[in-house]
Amino acid sequence: MEPKGARRESILDLLHDAGGLRPGAVGRVHLDSKVPEADVYGVATFYHLLADTTTDVFVCDGLSCRIAGCNSVMDELQARGEKARFVSCVGRCDAAPATWDRRGRPETLSPALSPSSDKHAIDLAAEDTQPYDALALARDKGADWVVAEIEGSGIQGRGGAGFPAAVKWKGVRAQAVKERYIVLNADEGEPGTFKDREVMLRRPHLVIEGLAIAAFALEALEIYIYVRGEFGAAKAALVGAVEEAKQRGDLDDRLRWHFVDGHGAYICGEETALLEALEGRRGMPRMKPPFPVESGFRGKPTLIQNVETIACVPAILRNGGAWFRGLGRTAPGSKLYCMSGHVTRPGVYEAPLGVSMRELLELAGGAVGTVKAFSPGGASSGFLPASKLDVAMDFRSLAVEGSMLGSAGVVVLNESVDMVEASLAQAVFFEQESCGQCSPCRIGTQIIRQTLERYLASGRDPKTLAIIPEVSWGMSEASICGLGLAASLPVKSAMTWFPEEFGIG
Amino acid sequence: MSDSKFVVIDGSETEYREGETVLHAARRLGIEIPTLCHDDRLEPAGACRICLVEVEGSRLMQPACAFRTAPGMVVRTNTTRVDRNRQFIISLHLADTVADRDEAEDVSISRLHEYTEKYGVAEGEWQHVGSPREGRPDDENPFIAFRADRCIVCAACVRYCDEVEGVSAITLANRGGRTTIATADLRSLDHTTCEMCGGCIAVCPTGAMTEKPALFYGKPERELEKVRSTCNFCGVGCQIDINVDRNANRIVKVTSPPPGTTVNDGNLCVKGRFANDFVHHPDRLTVPLVRETDGRLREASWDEALERAVRGLQGVKETHGVDSLAFISSSRCTGEENYLLQKLARAGFGTQNIHQCAAT
C-alpha cells in the first residue's frame, strides 16, 4: 500500500532512467516515488527490458525468425563477443531473422507494401500530409455524427479481438463520469505482426488525427500513447506529428498528449494489462467486468484502441461509414495483413477484409516452396493447413475454422517445416510471455512446452502427448485473459490438421 | 436487467444483495465452492481459478470469488464442466508443487491437499513441472520461511501484507513460470518493512509460508493439538490457538483462529504468533518464591506466597494509611485482569491509587 501522494505512475520511467534493475535502483526509485520498495522491485522484475540490464542485442526467436535462421544470427553475435539473448518477438518479422539493439540502431521501414490506392482506408504508401480535415469535419458536424459514422462503418478493432469499435465509443459516451481517457495501444507484439509499426512510421498524422477525433467525440482531454519499448522511431514519429499539428493549430490546445514507453512484456498489449502498466504496476490483466469503457485508466471511462483502428477513423469520416464498410468483402473495411515466413516479399499489404489467403500470397509475391500450413493471425491463431487457402480472412470466417484473424500477422510455412517444431516455437513464446497471474496459463504453458520436448526426445512416442487434450481444454476454459485462452491453440490445431506428425494419424 | 429479486444457484433461490459475490451468495445457501487464493479480508484476485462456476449467459466460466451477482442471475456450481475444471486446477497445482500429501503437510495444513482428497484427484499423476521459482533460502529472519516449491503463487500473502497490514514487505516478482514471492532485491525479511506478524503464513493455502520454529521442530500441524487461549501480550484480547505436541508437552507454534470467528479476525502480531519460546525456557519461574529473612528466595506454595503478600500489603496500610499503597498493572494483562486489579485496589483495600503501565 503506497502512502498518500506516492507517485505510482512514475515508477516505470524512474526505473528506466535508473538503467533498469541495477544495484541501488529500487531504493532510489522508492525514495523518489514513495512507492514501497517491494512493489518497485516486483514491477521492475516483470518487464524484461528493466530486469535485464546486461543484454545489448535482443535476437528474435519468433516463428518467422526461426524459419529464417535466428540461431545462426545468435552464433554470429556471440562470436563477435556481443551480449545477446533470445527474446520472443521484436516486431520485425518482415526483416527476419530480426534483432533489436538496445544501444540504438536506425529502424528501417518494411521493404514491401501495397501500392497506394483509394480502396485503402490507411494507404501506407500515400503521402502523410494530413490536412486534418476529418477532424474539422467532426467539429463541424458534432460528436453524434462522428459516432454514427463509426457505427455505420462497422469497423471492428484491429488489435486482435475484432470487437466493434462503435460499442466502445458509445460505451464511454454513456458514462456519467466526465473524466475520460483515450489510450492508444501501440504495444504491437504478437509474433507475425508488424503493421502498427509501419502505420506509425509512415502515417503518424493519421494516428494523431484519429486520436484527436476520438477525444473530441468522447469529450476526453487526456490522451495516453503506449508505445512498445523497441519502437523508438515509431514513437518519435508520433511525437513529431503532434508537434507539427500543434504548430499548425490543427489540435485543440486543451488536449494533453502523454507518451509512455513499454518495457518488454507482450502481455501489455492486452488492454487491461496495458492500463496496469500505465498505472505503474505489473502488467497483469484485470478481471472483467468491469470493462475499461466503464472503469479503465485510473478507474475512469477509457477508450482503448489499436493503432490501425484509430488510423482508419479519419478516412471513415472523410468518405463516410458506408464507404468504409464497402471496402471489405465479407466484413467491413480494408485491413492491413502482415505477410512473413515462407513468402517471396514479406511486408504489409492492405486488402479487403475477407480476402483469401491465396490472394494474399499473390500480393506477397507467392510462397517460397509449397505452402504446407499458415498462421492467419499471429501465434494466438494456431495453424491452418494449405487446404484452407481459400477461407475468407476475416474475424468471423476464421473463427468458424477454429482459428482467428487476430492481428492479421500471417506466417506462411512451407513443406520444410516440422509442425511439431513449429508448435514448440509457439509454446516457448507463450511460456515466456505468460504474466504468471493465473494458474492455467502459468503452469499450462510450461506443461505444453515440456510435453512437446518430451515427445521429440522420446523419438516421437505419441503416448507422451496424452496430457495435451486435458491441459489445453483447461487453459482455454479457465485462463483470465486471451493469452492463456489461446496459448494451447497452436499445438491443438497442429494435432488436428497434421495428426501424422504427432503419431496419431 | 431482470425484475427478479433473487439469484438462483444450483436451482435454489436466494435474495439478491447488491454488490455481493457469487461465493457469498452461495455460502448463504450452504453451497460450498472451493477457493485457494481467496480470503474474505482481501480484495478478490480470481487467480487460482478453482472457484469457477457457470453463469447463464456467459460463455466463459466466472470466478465465484470475484463475480458479482445480478438480479435474476442463474449460477451452476454442480455441472460436469465446473467439476472438470476443479480437478484440472488441482492437478495443475499438484504438478507444480509437492504432490505427496505427507510431504506437503510436513509443517502446515494444505487446503490444496484437502481438495485433492475431496475431489478425488490422484496425486502425482501429471509429471512434475518444476517451475523455476526463486526462493530466499538464505533469508536470515528468525520467524518466517518461504518454501518456493510449495507455492501456488496465489499472492494471498502479498495482498494480505499490503491490504490488511499496510506493510508491503513482499511482492510478486518476475513473470510466467518464474513468478514468485519476493522481497525488494531479495533481502532477508528482517531487512525489509516486514513486522513479522506472520499473517502471510495464516493466509497461505499450501504451507509455502511457514513458521521457522515449527519447521525446525519438525512435527506436522495435523499431529498437534490446538488449545484456544487469549494472548497475554496486551489487553486487546486476541484469540490464539496454541499448537501443542502432547507427547513432548511442548508448544510448537501459535496459529490464529479462522477470520470472522474471533475479535482479532484471524490476525495476530509478532508477539502473539512468535514470542512463545519463554514458555519452555529453563529460567522461567514455574512456582512462587518467597524471601527468607536471610534474603534468599525459596520455593513456596501459592497459599503461602499469597498469604505473605496479603500480610505485607495490609501491614503497610495499617502502619502508613491506605493511600501509601499504589497498584500498577502490566500492559501484558488482559482487560479482565486489569478490571480485577482495580477491584482489588478500590474494593479490597479502599484506594484510588490504581494505574496501568500502558496508560502513560
Q: What is the pLDDT of residues A65-100, one digit of tens each?
A: 999 999 999 999 999 999 999 998 898 888 889 999
Q: How far apart are CA A190 and CA A269, in angstroms?
A: 8
Does the pLDDT value for residue A431 go beyond 90?
Answer: yes
| pLDDT at residue number B140 | 95
**What confidence category does residue A143 fall into, taking pLDDT thresholds of 50, 70 and 90?**
very high
Rounded to the nearest 10 degrees, the angle between the axes of helix A143-153 and helix A204-218 is 120
Which one of B131, B163, B184 has the shortest CB-CB distance to A38?
Answer: B184
Q: pLDDT-based confidence at A198, cuts 50/70/90?
A: very high
The answer on pLDDT for A1 being more than 80 is no
What angle (nearest 5°) sits at the alpha carbon of residue A59, between those of residues A58 and A61? 130
> In this complex, is the C-beta atom of A458 within 8 Å of any C-beta atom belonging to chain B?
no
pLDDT mean across residues, chain A: 95
Residue intervals of chain B classified under CATH 3.10.20.740 are: 6-78
Q: How many residues does chain A have?
A: 505
The domain segmentation of chain A, as residue ranges, is 8-51, 57-101, 133-326, 333-414, 419-502
> DSSP characters for A305-330?
EEHHHHHHHHHHHHH-HHHHHHH-SS
What's the Cα-to-Cα distance from A497 to each of A398, A403, A493, rounded to whole Å? 15, 12, 6
The backbone region for B20, taken as left when phi is positive above 0, alpha when psi lies in -120 to 50, beta otherwise, is: beta
- What's the predicted TM-score (pTM) here? 0.94
Coil, strand or helix: which one is A58?
strand
The answer on pLDDT for A125 being more than 80 is yes
CATH topology of domain A419-502: de novo design (two linked rop proteins) (1.20.1440)
Please name which of A123, A106, A57 lies closest in space to residue A84, comparing C-alpha atoms. Answer: A57
A438–B152 C-beta distance less than 8 A? no
Size of interface A-B (CB pairs under 8 A): 149
Q: Which of A7, A5, A6, A11 is nearest to A261 (CA)?
A: A11
Chain B residue with the nearest C-alpha to that of A449: B129
Q: In the structure, what pLDDT confidence band is assigned to residue A467 with cuts at 50, 70 and 90?
A: very high
- Region of B155 please: left (phi>0), alpha (psi -120 to 50) or beta: left
Chain-centroid distance, C-alpha B122: 29
- For the ranges A9-18, A149-158, A192-201, B117-126, the lowest mean pLDDT is seen at B117-126
Indicate the class that CATH gives domain A133-326.
Answer: alpha beta
* Nearest by Cα to B186 from A202, A45, A307, A82: A45
* A470/A490 Cα distance (integer angstroms): 15
A373 pLDDT band, cuts 50/70/90, is very high
Residues of A in contact with B168 (CB under 8 A): 1-2, 36, 38-39
Q: Which residues of chain B have pLDDT under 50?
A: none
Q: How far apart are CA A131 and CA A497, in angstroms?
A: 49
The predicted pLDDT at position B4 comes to 83
Convert the pLDDT of each residue in A316-370 to its tens digit. 999 999 999 999 999 999 999 999 999 999 999 999 999 999 999 999 999 999 9
Judge: B184–A41 Cβ closer than 8 Å, yes or no.
Answer: yes
Of the candidates B66, B57, B80, the one whose C-alpha atom is nearest the C-alpha of residue B8 is B57
- For residue B360, the model assigns a pLDDT of 60
- Bridge-based pairing of strands B74-76 and B62-63 is unpaired
CA dist list (Å): B310 to B299, B344, B349, B353: 18, 11, 10, 17
- Nearest beta carbon to residue A446 from set B91, B177, B192: B177
Assess A287–B contact: CB distance below 8 Å, yes or no. Answer: yes
Query: pLDDT band for position A2 (50/70/90)?
Result: confident
For chain B, the farthest-separated pair of C-alpha atoms sits apart, in whole angstroms, at 88
pLDDT on residue A18: 95
pLDDT in tens, B93-143: 999 999 999 999 999 999 999 999 999 998 888 999 999 999 999 999 999
**pLDDT confidence of residue B2:** 62
Residues with Cβ within 8 Å of A262's Cβ and at least 6 positions away in sequence, in order, are A47, A49, A187, A226, A227, A228, A229, A230, A268, A277
Length of chain B: 360
Whether A85 has its CB under 8 Å from any CB of chain B: the answer is no
**How high is the ipTM of this complex?**
0.94
Residue A137, pLDDT > 80, answer yes
d(CA A267, CA A190): 9
Rg (CA), chain A: 22
Q: Are A450 and A297 in contact (CB under 8 A)?
A: no
Given the candidates 3.90.1150.10, 3.10.20.600, 3.40.50.720, 1.10.10.10, the CATH classification of the domain at A333-414 is 3.10.20.600
Question: What are the E-state strand segments in B292-332?
Answer: 297-299, 327-329
Closest CA to A393 of A359, A370, A345, A343: A359
> What does the DSSP 8-state code read for residue A386?
G
In chain B, the residue whose alpha carbon lies closest to the alpha carbon of A45 is B174
pLDDT at B335: 85
Out of 3.30.750.24, 1.10.3330.10, 3.10.20.600, 3.10.20.740, select the CATH number for domain B6-78.
3.10.20.740
Alpha-carbon distance of A450 to B316, in angstroms, equals 82
Q: What percent of chain B has pLDDT over 70?
A: 99
Q: How far apart are CA A438 and CA B36, in angstroms?
A: 12
Give the list of residues 6+ apart from residue A81 with CB closer than 8 angstroms, or none.
Answer: none
Quote the pLDDT of residue B173: 98
Give the closest of B85, B126, B129 to A478, CB-based: B85
Residue A24 near residue A53, CB atoms below 8 Å: no
Q: In the prediction, which pLDDT does B125 show? A: 87
Tell me which architecture the domain covering A57-101 has in CATH.
3-Layer(aba) Sandwich (3.40)
Residue A397 is predicted with a pLDDT of 96
Backbone angles phi, psi at A252, to 5 degrees: -60, 125
